[in-house]
Structure 1
Amino acid sequence: MRTVHIEARPDHLLRLARLKDPLGAVAEMIWNALDAEACEIVVDVETNDLGGVEYVNVVDDGHGMPHASCADYFGRLGGSWKSAAKVSPRLKRGLHGRSGQGRLQAFALGEQIRWVTTAVNAIGQCERTTISGTIDAPADFTVSEPEPVGDDLPPGTRMEASLPADFVGRLAEPGTRDQLTSIFAPFLAANPDVTITHAGHVLDPSTVWAHTAEYAVTAPGGAAEVLPGPLLRVIEWPRDVGRTLALCDSRGVVLAELPAGIQAPGYHFTAYLLWDGFSDRRETLELAEMDADLAELSGTARDVLRRHFRERDSERRARLVQEWKNEDVYPYRQEPSEPAEAVERQLFDEVATTVERRLPRAAQNRRTTLRLLREIIAHDPGGLYPVLDELFRLPQAEQDELRRLLERTSLSDIIKATTEVTSRLDFVAALRKMVFDPQTSKIVKERSELHKILERETWVFGDAYALMVSDRSLDTVLQRHLQELGRNPVPEQLKPVLREDGRKGIVDLMLGRALRGSSGREHLIVELKAPSVKVGQNEVGQIKSYAEAVVSDPQFTDANVKWDFWVISTTMDNVVRRDATAPHRPPGCIAEWEGGVRIWARTWCEVIDDCEARLHFYRDQLNHDPATDHAIEYLRRVHHYIPKVSS
């Protein structure tokens, strides 16, 4: 018996042992057995009545360790024979180990460790050797004298660990088997003659994985001309086994592990990149991201992974939607008839399937929740995230996924835009009914109905207009005008703004917008008339009196502001029409004064035609032609107004 000593500090050796990673230690013992050409490996975890682990054994039928080599194997740190050999002597398996440190990880399984190994020596005789170590003296291993054994005892090694720490109890948990399966899946697939058993259960990836797929990956540089190209194997698991991108040789020997480096919420997976080119780069694999060729290869593999999970996500969403349809809880009954509906439904499907695990179990409650999601997406997609968070109290991981979904996609913005366009089309149809329908237009009230609706639909008068004043005096018009110019006047210091006859004027609507590409502004004063009122000299005189009050009052003076004054109704008398169609002015303009002031007489027909011309392209693209019931429903839903019909 002799003691071999490692020239290294004990604390350094214990750091290499990774004492709090018993699973990694078991995996390392299995890889050592496979490097020794074992075909059958048994991991036995013995527990006591209280469920605590008493000892851990790893038994293999490999070629064992000859006594003459044991001192070298256990007395040296680094310089393993595997780093030079690269493949095993008889079966030519790729070798996992290379650093000469793996045996130290056995201390993660117990304070006392022992190897009992049987091997054929140089003269062809079978001999058994026992190697022992303790955590108190991790630099020293005791190697027994060789013990001759009969030829009927096959070679192999038994690693025994006793006095384990409490955390070694993880090895008795069911998840350990799944994690070991994920580690050795590619090797077991490529080597069907190998059997690994853990706690009485054979590791068989095909009985555990949820899904698997393989993809050819382009080799870096010109390596594809020398070696078969890399293959990416993706295995999805029913439970979390830890995500990694494992770099393997073509026989499934894991040579290094990198972070998976992709987002795939809801999936548990391991990716294996199999390529014999890794064997020639073993010394740099741990730093693969710093090697240009390897960084390119791992980046390509991750791109393939992302594409894989996008396709898997699409399949999962389609399956869930079909299940909801079969259960009659899906809130859409028919296929989308318009592009806008298709966009809305796409966002609904993505969001609903993302939170699917949080939906109520009862069919009726699930149906109600899905309908609520549809309504929010249809009418307020921007407010979707806070509502979902309030409804489902999502864990952080799902919050992040949902936020990523809503940020990465333009669907929400598209739905906002299409909703706005279809709403405008519906309102134009509603406005046409209000001002032209013989039974409705007679009784529409200018101030309490038409006015109140239009102050929320200022886009009718031109894009980018914002409401500044509604149903207020000319004094208020002056105040808002000055505020827009940044002057912030004190109302008490302003002089009253009066019409020429000394009366105060009440403006229906004042709108404003900045002139694109300049520092100037446009103000629009709109005088609305009930559809039954014809624009004549009295109506023109009223709007001109407002214009005169602005022009003649020096408080309004500003060269960068242009003013337009509109009077609108359904019809106008012949004299006003002649002025509105004069050849030297724009159609509808009945007067142009100094200081950029224009006065207009317009009909609702002209205004509505302008709106439809602006929306014509979108109406055709969205295939949306609003019917009367759409128009009335819009007035009811948005403006709480139902058109009356004269008796």
Structure 2
Amino acid sequence: LKSTHLTKLSHEGTLSLMDLEPSLSPVLNKVEGLIKEHFRKRDHEKSRELIDKWKNEGVYPYVGKAENIVEDAERKVFDIMAINVIKYIPQFDNGDLKLKKFQFKLLRHIVGSCPDDLRTILEEVLSLPKEKQTELAEILRDASLSAVISVSKIITDRLKFISGLENVLFHPNTRKVFKERSQLHKIMADNTWFFGESFTLSVNDKSLTEVLRVHLEKQGIDIPVDEKVTRIDGSVGIVDLMLTRSIGKNYPDEREHIIIELKAPKVNIGQSEIEQVKSYAYAVAEDSRFNGLKTKWNFWVISNELTTYALRELKQKNLPEGAIYQAEEMTIWIKTWSQLIQENKHRLGFLQNQLNISYDREDGLQFLKQKYAEYTEGVVFENESQDEYID
């Protein structure tokens, strides 16, 4: 820095006071900002040169422009991580190109699929100083990049799941062999968000007695359940799924349960299916141990199609659409898979559009096949006959 004012302060012996000298403080602050900006630009240029070098070497794991905001966010996180890997492990950039390409692909996979593991990489793999770990974590957090990627991964997986489920339930070949208890039940128990985002799984393939135990436990009531809960005919009913949620902050002691009876796609909802779910509802209504607690009960029976008997049940007056019984805090519903699938598509549609997520039918089938291989045994996924599948 050069100026007549600085020369004057030097002659007066006050230049060494630096920011204690009132006339120097604003100048020094501005200079400090300019220097930081200069080095920030230099770092940015070096980073850009390094990324261009990786592209020329053919090891950079992305090609072309980002297709959507999620991929753009993912690339930024990858760049931040990769550049800092080079800073702290310089030999990484000088190694074998095939190995580096593989390592970059691995890092991309972690960034895109497991962003929560990035902190572990910073701490345990790279052994970065605590100060640098905090700095990088703040960069990622401030940019909300890992959050965007995590949300996108969840939404994409759910859309693929819905697509795969839709095809398995409605394809004329798979619907005939898709089993309720050993396949459909187990898959849906792992995806209870499908029935309601705020509900959690509380009972899975257990008796009505277990339903009572969980119900009391959710209300904080610690009493032994010595006597079984039975249906009106004295039999012990086995519930497929029970989901539970708290009503809300304004009603912390209130709960809502959904008891779900799943039916294989080849089974139409008729008189016997309706009587089955009614027997569960009436067992709860008639057992005094369920009474006196602020709880809403919903009972669902779900399948592909309805018989004329079920359609007539749905024509009752003064009931919500889809309900066949309602009294006090209890409602019995008939649901179809197509109805629930459309509701989920609608709910996820906004985020899908905002994140520009794209997938096709084959993505959905492969997702279901790979994630639930043990539960889809005997269900044929034939790529060559893909055009036979129903939208």
**TM-score (ref. length: structure 1):** 0.54
Residue 326 in structure 1 maps to residue 59 in structure 2: no
The structure whose RCO (Cα within 8 Å, separation 6+) is larger is: 2
Contact 2:258 2:300 in 1 (8 A): yes
Q: How many pairs are equivalent?
A: 374
Alignment of 1:374-393 (within 5 A): 374-393=108-127
- Aligned pairs for 1:382-421 (under 5 A) are 382-396=116-130, 398-421=132-155
How many Å separate the matches in 2 of 1:549 and 1:321?
A: 66
Mapping of 1:280-359 within 5 angstroms? 283=14, 286=17, 288=19, 296-357=26-87, 358=89, 359=92
Asked if residue 627 in structure 1 is aligned to residue 380 in structure 2, the reply is: no
Contact 2:183 2:376 in 1 (8 A): no
Residue 588 in structure 1 maps to residue 322 in structure 2: yes
Runs of 5+ consecutive residues of structure 1 not aligned to the other structure = 1-247, 252-273
* Conserved? CA contact 2:206–2:240, under 8 Å: yes
Q: Contact (CA 8 Å) 1:441, 1:532: kept in 2 or not?
A: yes
2:287 to 525, 541, 553: 553
* Alpha-carbon distance change, 506 to 320 in structure 1, aligned in 2, over 3 angstroms: same
1:90-489 correspondence runs (5 A): 248-250=1-3, 283=14, 286=17, 288=19, 296-357=26-87, 358=89, 359=92, 361-396=95-130, 398-489=132-223
Distance 1:356 1:646, change over 3 A: closer
Q: Using the alignment, how far apart are the partners of 1:338 and 1:403 within structure 2?
A: 23
**1:609 aligns to 2:361 (yes or no):** no
**Conserved 8 A contact 1:632-1:642:** no
Instruction: Quote how far apart the aligned CAs of 1:317 are.
Output: 2.8
Within 2, Cα distance between the matches of 1:564 and 1:469?
14
User: What is the CA–CA distance in structure 1 between the aligned matches of 2:316 and 2:10, rounded to whole Å?
Assistant: 88
Corresponding residue for residue 645 of structure 1: 380
How much has 1:433 moved relative to structure 2?
0.8
> Of Structure 1 and Structure 2, which has the larger fraction of its residues in helix?
2
- Which residue matches 1:539? 273
Counterpart pick for 2:245 among 490, 513, 523: 513
Q: Deviations over 1:70-116 (max 9, x none)?
A: xxxxxxxxxxxxxxxxxxxxxxxxxxxxxxxxxxxxxxxxxxxxxxx
**Any idea what SS the aligned residue of 1:372 has?**
helix
Among 500, 503, 512, the residue aligned to 2:235: 503
1:166-194 deviations in whole A, cap 9, x for unaligned?
A: xxxxxxxxxxxxxxxxxxxxxxxxxxxxx
**What TM-score results when the alignment is normalised by the length of structure 2?**
0.86
8 Å contact from structure 1 (residues 564, 598) kept in 2: yes
Shift of 1:547: 0.8
Amino acid at match of 2:212: L
In structure 2, the CA distance between the partners of 1:352 and 1:560, relative to structure 1 (3 Å rule), is same
Separation in 1 of the partners of 2:70 and 2:113? 12
- The AA in structure 2 aligned to 1:467 is L
State the distance in 2 between where 1:314 and 1:583 align: 68
User: Hey, what's the Cα distance between the residues in 2 that align with 1:453 and 1:502?
Assistant: 31
Q: CA RMSD in A?
A: 2.8
Q: 1:242-295: per-residue Cα shift (whole Å, max 9, x none)?
A: xxxxxx4438xxxxxxxxxxxxxxxxxxxxxx977976996386462x677755
Ranges in structure 2 where 5+ consecutive residues have no aligned partner: 383-391
| Contact kept? 1:588, 1:600, Cα under 8 Å | yes
**Contact 2:122–2:133 (CA under 8 A) maintained in structure 1:** no
Contact 2:365–2:381 (CA<8 Å) still a contact in 1? no
Higher relative strand content: 1
Cα deviation, 1:579-621, whole Å, max 9, x if unaligned, reads: 3354532221111022x11110000011001101101111212
Deviations 1:113-148 (A, max 9, x none): xxxxxxxxxxxxxxxxxxxxxxxxxxxxxxxxxxxx
Amino acid in structure 2 at the alignment position of 1:423 = D
Q: Does the Cα contact within 8 Å between 2:9 and 2:15 map onto a contact in 1? A: no
